[in-house]
Structure 1
């Protein structure tokens, strides 16, 4: 099973790529409708410098927006999870804000900040902070009432309970949200770049689509997917090192 589990992430995508390639050849699908994987690889090679130029911008805006989302989301999650007043006051606002389509907010951000980097950072932040806040708040909420009563009887304050019990208890929830939020941050950056930017993978794909260069569009999608996978694996690695106690004995798990 160990060999099969290790080979699965390689064998399955490779099989899908081969099936995709054969389907394009067998049905003679035009490249402007669906390019084959080999055409996408050629587009990646021929446009390596241009893709690097745009992908570095996307990675920058994503990481900056995500970093702000981690700081703000963790603080907000601790506040909401440790205070009933904050929960009843802020949680409905967070749900309402998260329900607003971020695509509709990008034109407003352009009016405020102009096109370019800032709207992409803000959009990445808006898409990624909510899962962090909710998961951290959930982790704090898992503290058993009996444990709270015992700690209070020993003289611990609410701050002591949050700092010594709540925050360590919420770490697995935090890392689970980080793996989700980093992918959402990439989505936010690309959305903003598609609508209001002159640099980034979203801009590259928009320009390539306008020129019917669909292989280059797919090349941009591949780059975004690869960056998302790498960032996800980085957080999964750190999670395993820092919160292994929470998953010890588990037979399987996402990123575990």
Structure 2
């Protein structure tokens, strides 16, 4: 049983790499088999060559995109956690603010970016705000859900023991919401990159989105795909960081899944 568990853990570590490798091999094989023009769909080997050729601009613009994404993501964590706690712990706040949040989240962020450019000009600020806006809602919803689903019986027992509402939130609600919170972080960090890239494609002086737009204007499709792969790699890296923090912080919530296939 112990040897089987070790084999399963080793398989879990290498399986993502095997799946990614298989996807790239399939992509390469399809392009070569059907002789697809690189202008339509470049092979991974061609994209890799573009990354090697343009590694310095890619690195510089990736740093800019990562900086704006993390800044917007940090703002989303602060405001999303605070508002999620407020909504989850108050029925009045829930019914009062939820329609407004849903309506605002329904607005396409691509329509908001031009307004942000008018307000703040071309540059980093619209990208940070767009990353914040697009990653804010999942955090609010998940934190509010985690706090609101604390059992009423548990609340009654704590009140009978003299606990104040703030004590219930701090000692029961927040720990209960942590798995929801970290689940939202893994979603929010990936969509935050979408917000940054979106703003950079509309109006920015640097960033992967701006680099991809320049490459598109030159019909350099391999460089466009190189930008996409770099963005995907950054998103995966941030997801892994969030998952590692989740495992160290809320590993108790995952104990029941350790023996599952």
Structure 2 match to 1:93: 100
> 1:1-256 maps to which residues of 2 (within 5 A)?
1-251=8-258
Question: Structure 2: where are the runs of 5+ without partners?
Answer: 1-7
Equivalent position SS for 1:115: coil
Deviation sequence 1:4-31 (CA, Å, 0-9, x none): 3333211122112112112212221111
Moved more, 96-105 or 5-14: 5-14
Equivalent position SS for 1:125: helix
> Which whole-Å CA distance do the structure 2 matches of 1:6 and 1:149 have between them?
44
> Which whole-Å CA distance do the structure 1 matches of 2:147 and 2:19 have between them?
38
Structure 1 match to 2:4: none
> Which whole-Å CA distance do the structure 2 matches of 1:5 and 1:147 have between them?
37
TM-superposed CA distance for 1:252, in Å, is 7.0
> Which whole-Å CA distance do the structure 2 matches of 1:79 and 1:3 have between them?
42
Equivalent position SS for 2:185: helix
> Which whole-Å CA distance do the structure 2 matches of 1:61 and 1:16 have between them?
30
Equivalent position SS for 1:151: helix
Scaled by the length of structure 2, the TM-score of the pair is 0.94
TM-superposed CA distance for 1:213, in Å, is 0.3
Q: Aligned pair count?
A: 253
> Which whole-Å CA distance do the structure 2 matches of 1:7 and 1:168 have between them?
32
Equivalent position SS for 2:257: coil
> Which whole-Å CA distance do the structure 1 matches of 2:259 and 2:127 have between them?
36
Equivalent position SS for 1:122: helix
After superposition, the CA RMSD in angstroms is 1.1
